Amino acid sequence: MRLPKDFKEFTAGKGVGKKIATILLNPCFHCVCLFRLSNMFYRIHLSFISKIIWYINRLLFHADIDYRADLAGGFVLVHGLGTVIGMNVISKGRLKVYQGVTIGGNSGKTRVDSEGKVFHQPVFEDDVIIYTNAGVYGPIEIKSGTVIKAGEIVSHSIL
């Protein structure tokens, strides 16, 4: 289950009171919960329900996280307003995203990996941080431990 890993990252180093406050009062955590719910319905082929939950998430939290994105456990939104994550974005580990970040494809470009799988959108390894108003575009790969600076535009793989 991915949501417990998300919760663990949201509350890392915090006491019991802060963990309870995260569950009850943290809108970014609630946004991630709704994303996980919409993604779950998508995975069991109930796309119509996924779209409804995605739309509610977008209205409530002003973050457009496509229900088809494959984000591993450990996904954290920090001030998630204005964040956009495209439909085939993949994260393979912890990913921390700040306000106004856009992650998505790039004009129909594709990349084929060593196993023959075709990618249209970014793939993130473990422990990546993307700071405010950065953009990550295209079928690129971002290596573990990468920090993308505020306002930076990334359209080439970082290996």
The CATH number of whichever domain residue 75 belongs to comes to 2.160.10.10
Q: Which residue has the tokens 């970082």?
A: 158
Distance of alpha carbon 128 from alpha carbon 146, whole angstroms: 5
pLDDT band per the 50, 70, 90 thresholds, residue 118? confident
State the pLDDT at residue 119.
83
More confident residue, 1 or 32: 32
Residue ranges making up the domain that contains 25: 3-148
Q: With the C-alpha atoms ordered 85, 91, 97, 102, is the resulting torsion angle positive or negative?
A: negative
Q: What pLDDT digit, counting tens, does each position of 21-78 carry?
A: 999 999 999 999 999 999 999 999 999 999 999 999 999 999 999 999 999 999 999 9
Q: Is residue 88 part of a domain?
A: yes
φ, ψ of residue 12 in degrees (nearest 5): -55, 125
Query: Which of helix, strand or coil describes residue 47?
Result: helix
Look at residue 117 in the predicted model and tell me its pLDDT.
Answer: 79
Q: Which residues touch 14 (CB under 8 Å, ≥6 apart)?
A: 22
| Inside any domain, residue 156 | no
pLDDT of residue 85: 98
Contacts of 114 (CB under 8 A, 6+ apart): none
List the end-to-end C-alpha distance of the chain, in Å, as a whole number.
28
* Of 158, 56, 24, 151, the residue nearest 99 (C-alpha): 151
Is 103 a member of any domain? yes
Instruction: Give residue 150's pLDDT band: very low, low, confident or very high (50, 70, 90).
Output: very high
Q: Note the pLDDT of residue 61.
A: 97
- The domain total for the chain is 1
pLDDT in tens, 83-114: 999 999 999 999 999 999 999 987 777 877 77
The residue behind tokens 């306002």 is: 151
